[in-house]
């Protein structure tokens, strides 16, 4: 699904969606409306989501919006979204922000890996598959930093830590792909 539900409407302008953009908090916005919200505040600060108040560190235009690039008005809005991503999408985020973005990035990555129409670079696909494979091997292997046989459920914590680190690594890789697609140079 590359868009909000069909019967959904935008909570700021109360209209149907126009130039769809998805934020890192998984909410959908009209590109023009979210740019107006951003410009209403300080232009050199991150915009906050009007629905959940999280900082928006990345805006991703929907597929339908990208197909409208030939329209001058849509191109202008998409250029503003690119500028926003260029200003705020490539910055270093704290671990809390990375954890909040984890579900959003992994869901988008999974959709992109499973959809043959989408093109994820081969090197990126290989890195994702290798990271997932190595974490699965670590979990299955009897060699652990904290062995489950001796410490029981406490020994399971190192397996969870490896999965978390692997997930954060894969999400960071995919975020960099999205950043360069939608705003990076």
Position 2 scores a pLDDT of: 65
Position 170 scores a pLDDT of: 92
Across the strands, what pairs with 48? 55
| E-state strands within 62-181 | none
Position 87 scores a pLDDT of: 83
Arithmetic mean of pLDDT over the chain: 82
Instruction: Give the residue-averaged pLDDT of 87-111.
Output: 82
Least confident of 14-18, 56-60, 83-87, 164-168: 14-18
Tell me which residue of 83, 37, 39, 94 sits closest to 61, measured CA to CA: 83
- Other C-beta atoms closer than 10 Å to the C-beta of 88 total 21
Confidence bin at 168 (pLDDT 50/70/90): very high
What DSSP line would sit under 104-116, residue for residue?
HHHHHHHHHHH-T
Distance CA 151, CA 147 (A): 6
pTM: 0.75
Instruction: Give the residue-averaged pLDDT of 59-73.
Output: 82
Position 45 scores a pLDDT of: 81
Percent of the chain topping pLDDT 70: 88
Report whether 39 contacts 5 (CB < 8 A).
no
């Amino acid at each position: 699904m590359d868009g909000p539900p069909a019967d959904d409407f935008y909570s700021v302008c109360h209209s149907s969606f126009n130039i769809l953009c998805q934020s890192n908090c998984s909410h959908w916005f009209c590109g023009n409306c979210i740019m107006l919200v951003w410009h209403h505040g300080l232009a050199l600060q991150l915009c906050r989501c009007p629905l959940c108040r999280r900082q928006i560190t990345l805006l991703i235009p929907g597929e339908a919006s990208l197909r409208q690039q030939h329209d001058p008005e849509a191109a202008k809005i998409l250029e503003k979204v690119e500028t926003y991503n260029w200003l705020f999408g490539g910055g270093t985020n704290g671990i809390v922000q990375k954890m909040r973005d984890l579900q959003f990035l992994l869901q988008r990555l999974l959709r992109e890996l499973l959809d043959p129409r989408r093109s994820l670079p081969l090197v990126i696909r290989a890195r994702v598959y290798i990271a997932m494979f190595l974490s699965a091997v670590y979990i299955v292997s009897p060699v652990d930093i904290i062995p489950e046989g001796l410490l029981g459920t406490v020994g399971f914590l190192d397996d969870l830590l490896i999965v978390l680190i692997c997930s954060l690594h894969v999400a960071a890789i995919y975020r960099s792909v999205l950043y360069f697609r939608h705003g990076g140079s």
